[in-house]
Amino acid sequence: MVDIHVFNKPASEFSGDAIVCFGYAEGLRLGSGLKPSGGPSFLSQVAAWDKKLNGRIFSLLKEEGSGAAGNVLSIDTLGHLPVRAMVWVGLGEESACKADTYKDAIYGLVRLLEKQKAKKVLVMLPRISQFSEAQLVALSAEALKFGGYHFTRYLSEKKNTDMDVSLQVAEGKRKAESTQALNMGNVLAECSDLARDLANEPSNVLYPEAFAQIARKEVGKIPGLTCRVLNFEEIKKKGMGLLAGVGQGSTRKPCLVVVEYRGGKKKDLFEAFVGKGITFDSGGISLKTGEAAYLMSHMKRDMAGAACVLGVMRAIALLKLPMNAVGVMSMAENMPDGGSHKPGDILKSLSGKTVEVYHTDAEGRLVIADGLAYAQQNYSVSTMIDIATLTGEVMRVFGPSLTAVFANRNPLYRDLKRASVLTGESIWRMPLFQPYVDKVKGAFADLRELNFDMPNAIASALFLQQFVNKDVSWAHLDIAGTEEYTLPQGGKGSTGSAVRLLAHYLLQKYPISAT
Ligand code: BES
Ligand code: ZN
Ligand code: ZN
């Protein structure tokens, strides 16, 4: 756990385990004139410290401080300074430094500080052209806290990685602005962590009704949120045949979790978020084979979309956004059984459309389709975003750092892209190519769930689009690739994909008034 504070005194008044400074490739080497974060007053402080250490700081920087993005140099101060180490972090070329460069550098920094068993740290904030100081406080708090996340619930021996980090803001600066920024960073990290905790839970612990129980508990802690859960019987009675069909084979029955927030005016339309909540995806009767079977343990995270929705709803309420929102989480476990849905079955959706099943491993689009219909039938929705670990294809084609986005309106995609740049969660647009729509139309039912002749990511998005009312702005986020850490700077397990992206999207659209 990382706790963050702001510090508005000179760095010389800090004592602890480490002082962290950032530098760009152009200015970290002494030869081209050292320009560390913290500005000229801090530079003269560093020069004084360097003198105390007989030139150790500058000579080591010259030899090893490349300033390349991700380059981290830790200089032991040998007991001569009030801090044990000066840590220099490279951010690469200044013009190329964006939110994701900075965040990746922070994740690497946190790993190093954890290894050094640092407990008390001061961070000199860098200057990044697109961010104000307050934004940088928020971004840094979020990244430091996010980077310090570990899922240790089931380890008998837990390492103590707790850390206190102070962020240096301009000396004497009014605290209110920084405190608000700090709060925002904390909230975003905590809401991502909630989503990560849920996605990391194994499916023997986290089955649909267990998720619903946690959602109820989390919602109960936050004023402004309400939670409603439809159980298996209610789902069937309502006519949600797709969600019921996917979940009917498991001993752990499906449910629908609905979280509501009304922070806007009564007549304001709702932003709806719909999450895929498959707590385990074995493939069902079309049981996974080959590599997918080998990787089946990862399918406990096939509910990351639902976890994201709960995280986003929590962020909306904690930040008290002036808007109305609803989160719909379609929870089910996809298992083979005598009572499972089968290839060839025809299911009736909540929208009234019938769907022919071809392959029970393509279950995600079914449960989301009923979630989309539920949101539109029960709320006046202006914008609807679904989040799903939907296709292996997106994982293979886009890799671990890009979320695929399909959108039926350009402005919605543009808003998401802007949030993506701010938050460092990268997205890329995919086509809702209408000439392919015929391929999702059925022969014996209105729609077919799968068409083996079609690229799966596009076909699944076109399938979902059939459940979206024409007047609704809609985006579909396929997070199959980005949901799990596979890159070294990350961590292990769930990334909490899209929580921060969507929170930033909403913060842009419904700004909170400054205090
Ligand atoms: N949950 C999977 C998609 C997935 C795969 C997410 C890997 C994360 C990592 C989805 O339900 C699925 O099984 N999709 C299959 C469908 C196919 C067999 C028709 C796929 O995309 O491979
Ligand atoms: Zn599947
Ligand atoms: Zn799945």
- How many angstroms is it from 457 CA to the middle of ligand 2? 13
CB 336 near ligand 1, within 6 Å: no
> Does the C-beta of 362 come closer than 6 Å to ligand 1?
yes
The span from the CA of 455 to the CA of 441, in Å, is 15
Q: 93: how many CB neighbours lie within 10 A of its CB? A: 13
**Packing angle, helices 304-318 and 208-220, rounded to 10:** 10
Location of structure tokens 């899922």: 151
Atom of ligand 1 nearest to the CA of 286: 18
Residue by residue, what is the 3-state secondary structure of 95-142? HHCCHHHHHHHHHHHHHHHHHCCCCEEEEECCCCCCCCHHHHHHHHHH
Q: Is 442 in the pocket of ligand 1 (CB under 6 A)?
A: no
* Rounded average pLDDT per 10-residue block, the chain, 515 residues: 90 93 80 73 86 91 83 91 93 91 93 95 91 91 93 93 91 75 93 97 98 98 97 98 98 98 97 99 98 95 98 98 98 98 98 98 98 98 98 95 97 97 94 97 96 96 98 98 78 92 97 74
Query: Cα separation of 439 and 34, whole Å?
Result: 60
Distance in Å, CA 81 to ligand 3 centroid? 54
Joined tokens for residue 201 = 């839970």
Per-residue model confidence (pLDDT) at position 62: 85
Active site residues: 288, 365
Q: Report the first-to-last Cα separation within the chain, whole angstroms.
A: 28
Cβ of 271 less than 6 Å from ligand 1: no
Residue nearest to atom 18 of ligand 1 (CA): 361
Tell me what pLDDT residue 173 has: 63
Other Cβ atoms closer than 10 A to 515: 8
Provide the pLDDT for residue 491.
Answer: 73
CA 80 vs CA 42, 65, 75, 240: distances in Å? 18, 21, 12, 69
Ligand 3 centre from 118 Cα, in Å? Answer: 40
- Other CB atoms within a 10 A radius of the CB of residue 80 amount to 11
CB 395 less than 6 A from any atom of ligand 1: yes
Residue pair 160/118 in contact by the 8 Å Cβ criterion:
no
Tell me, in angstroms, the distance from the centre of ligand 3 to residue 215's CA.
21
**pTM listed for this prediction:** 0.95
